[in-house]
Structure 1
Amino acid sequence: MKLSDKIAAHPAHRPFYTFEFFPPRTDQGFDNLLTRISRLSNLDPIAISVTWGAGGSTKDRSLDLAGITQADYGIDTILHLTCTNMVPGLVDDALRTAKARGIQNILALRGDPPRGQEHWTPIDSRFSHGVDLVKYIRSSPEFSPHFCIGVAAYPEGHPDNQTDDDVNFDVLKEKVEAGADFIVTQLFYDADRFLHWLERVRREGISVPIIPGVMPIPTYSSFLRVVNLCRIQVPPSIMIDLEPIRHDDQLVKEYGIRLAVDIILKVTGNGDIRGVHFCTLNLEKSVQLVLERLKWAGGSPTTRNKLIADSPVPLPPISELVVTPTTATSDAAAALTSKTTVEIEPPGRGEINNAATWDDFPNGRFGDYKSPAFGAQDQWGGLGLSVHPVHPDWGNPATAEELTDLFLRHLDSKAASTPFSSSPLSAESQTILHQLKALTRGGLWTVCSQPAVDTLPSTDENFGWGPRDGYVSQKAFIEFFCTEEVVDKIEKKIRLSGGGSVHYFAANLQGDFRTNVPEDARNAVTWGVFPGKEIVQTTIIERESFLTWKEEAFSIWTEWASFYPPGSDQRTMLDEVRRTRWLMSVLHHNFKNPGALWDFLVDFYS
């Protein structure tokens, strides 16, 4: 059924909600997500949405997931569809497949910006913006009668244009006039700012239903990542509240639930907003708890006043969750207020990734590959690290030496990012800066690392995470791109002098794979011990997750090269790197000796 028709027929006194999922990267995660969706369907969402990877990179999995939820679970499905960076014909193929599977709702998005410079546009030139996709569907006798079309809106301004409100409103109005039936907003955390934006939207004559995007904060690091990617403005009061609990996932999660309830009550209090869109990150517990506290679960009739009147215990202020006194100032709050880049915590910190807690926390690329949330994405379905337009800090490298210089400038904080690292070097990695620079100068382009730590307090400023009164430890590892010759030398040294303490994974574009790790072994490289809890493992390095990341890592080289015309020095060099380099991860198990890994790799220093 078309979402616009469902909303029109929905009882005015009964709030509705939609759930957003992304297609997991592994078959095991996909199967486990279907089980999760089956459970969440009991909450009676009006629809489920499925994201679409940049350039159609998740095409098959997105269509499969959307088709199953539509046909097998009987839930109306909204298929996200991006139009830029799509090869000619792919949009038609996706629309025809969706139609054949009974999907009637499309969320038409621009997706990643078009590739390249003014003289190089290797994409379907018909699609540069979301409005182009709306117009295309509405102009098609084949597609227009079948599909209900939604579009995205950005209450705080589009990430590419946060300064000119008039332009943003003109773009939104153009999409609606082109035939959009409903609007889904990017997530936000400032309800007052959203309501001000809503008033302006209605004054502009836009009358279609608006569904605000809501994401309960899952962990502090995931929250910062989404905030940075989407350029969301967070009220300083929220950052101040989060500061003293930022290393305790459970407290952050509880805070996020209460904050989401508070935001939803505010934005639905005027009668205009009748439902919300939950960005789930493929998790379920937070969303379920939000709906239960709202008394919306199962579609029960509830209004804001009834919720407050019926609650056996009044909803406490958000600030009451923070019970630990602190005199620390909030650098993160100051950074967000000044619109500077907030450093994203290193992989695994504060993100519990074992199977028993799949329902609780995000499961990034160092988590359990069987989790539905493995490799969590941003709201509109991006695959995590994505090149997008070539960043000015990267220059236009045409030689391996210029690539080495880029990686060194990132280590020296002279480049804010690389195509493989979306944020500056973390404070944790600053402690091994000398070793990282030495390896990079030797041609081992480092993309991820962590130092060894032996039993530090969980409140440690650089390494701490989890509840107070605990202790954390971690093993040193490093991941880099290198030549096959380097792989051979490291393998030989591990055989001769590794003593069983050094494990590695290495793979190239062609599918060649080497390791000394047993097939089913999993290396927990970050863990914590806390009062009254089992040992918590937050960073896991194992075969499947490495190979999944390897596919993405080499696709980034492909994407980067595509910004340059065929035959150019830059494209020729980047293509050569993609074909000849290996991705390698090396781990040392002796976490008692902080120099063990670096001493082992000393032969590769320059």
Structure 2
Amino acid sequence: MKITDKLQKHHDVSPKATFSFEYFVPKTTQGVQNLYDRMDRMYQSSLPQFIDVTWNAGGQTSKLSQSSTELVSTAQSVLGLETCLHLTCTNMPVSDIDDALKEAYDSGCQNILALRGDPPSNDYKWEPCKGGFLYAKDLVAYIRLKYGNHFDIGVAAYPEGHPEEKDSIKNLNYLKQKIDAGANFIITQMFYDVDNFINWCHNVRQFGIEVPIIPGIMPITTYSAFLRRCQWGSINIPLHFSQSLEPIKDDDELVRAKGTDLVVEMCQKLLDSGYINHLHLYTMNLEKAPMMILELLDLLPTEAEFINDPVSVLPWRKSLNPQRRNEEVRPIFWQRRPYSYVARTSQWTIDEFPNGRFGDSSSPAFGDLDLVGYSLFRQSPQKALQLWSTPKTMQDISQLVINYLQGKLVCLPWSDTPLNHEVDTLLTHLIMMNKNGIITINSQPRINGERSNDKIHGWGPKDGYVYQKQYLEFLLPREKLSKLTEILKGNEIMTYFAIDFNDNLSTNHPDGSKANAVTWGIFPGREVLQPTIVEKVSFLAWKEEFYRILEDWKSIFIKDNDNESIQLLNSLINDYVLVNIVDNDFVSTEDQIFTLLMTL
């Protein structure tokens, strides 16, 4: 959705101010992966109206700028976040601009912040590149010419004057030219002089500019960073800011606390002015400082706002990619690996799945890992060693999983996302399984008619009821498989799939080619939703991915000549079987899966 439409829709029904976050592209692949996790976590705890992603710093191009569009695409398609892409004229011929706009368009992004940009890092004077644009207004006009009204276009403004032009009337005229060229909203440079900003807003309106003004808010985290940013942008520092911060400048904790109070006071005055009803926080890819500001301003969402979040209408975050907006079904195997699942299916077309079901195994593309174009092992070797060390025994592997279950680890090689409280009712069983040599991979508890607004298990529209079958996926020592299959032979209440590295498959599904819904919801005025399934071909595709993950993990130890860890991973690959069991008796009060496994 366009930013201006989204803000208007909110403010038509609520006087509560809104907010958004800005992120920049990290310099390392691992930093990008960590940023995805932070963006997701900040969304889940605050529900910003949108996020934006800066273009590359210093006028560089190639990989860093390419990562800007990749980050936007992931935010839209995987995280389901309304996203705005920065786009500059610096070192950008029209062909590169066309590529960036197409990628944004294809990902479902409908918002562009069009900027002239700073001079390249090795230049003192800004000049257009060959085949590029001279001014931001030219870029705005070009986007309008190429894409009509598809994009909401934002432009920058400088309440304290541009470094290259301090004349306030000229700056207002330049701003008006950008609006007249087709811009829809304004995001301002950072500032701390709130009285000057409010006076500038008055002048903007007097100049005939009526589009929304969104102030850029820079949290104060350290004194040195505060001074550096103000000096870099020629930002006026009010006297009471200096008097408050200078005496405590050597204590970062005190600076952040006092700086937060000063910024909160500034923001409240902005919201009371009548000119502003939305704040744009420059996060600098940090989490705590912006969240403290929002909490003190009482802008964090209420329980009702979380329940009514339109992105959370399914147990997993809905994509905003136009090809995936109708997606309502996913195999449960990728519950904790949404990035790889969306990457795997990103090239599939909606006409292959007329009911919006991307998990359908009828696609000829399904299961082809070469289509992913994505590293299955999301951690760098250094990060993997930091998280999981060098396991030498199966007990070490079991302890890693137990640490994850207890919240001491945020991820595992096969689980990208932290656990939520849904597993709390299974925690004792899961820990016991791992202590007994059965390595648990994924699970969900039985749910029989919980209200859809339940804080832990709820999802979907309000006034509904949600259901789940108990599900467990695990690695089982190969020597125990024959006993398991014998017990479950002909049992349709507990159905299973089991497969080893060499594709030896066993199952008791009466018709393994059909999907078994393991999560569903009943809501007033609409058909039953079945958003999570188990099916054979999906499981075969997941098996390929799972064992590839183990191979990638092993490769870290090969580089370090760590033979004990190599042998352990080889044993995990060759001596264990990947199994999933569904207890289809969702009304039972017995934990039948765990009771069964304790007999093996």
Q: TM-score, normalised by structure 1?
A: 0.49
Greater RCO (CA < 8 Å, at least 6 residues apart): 1
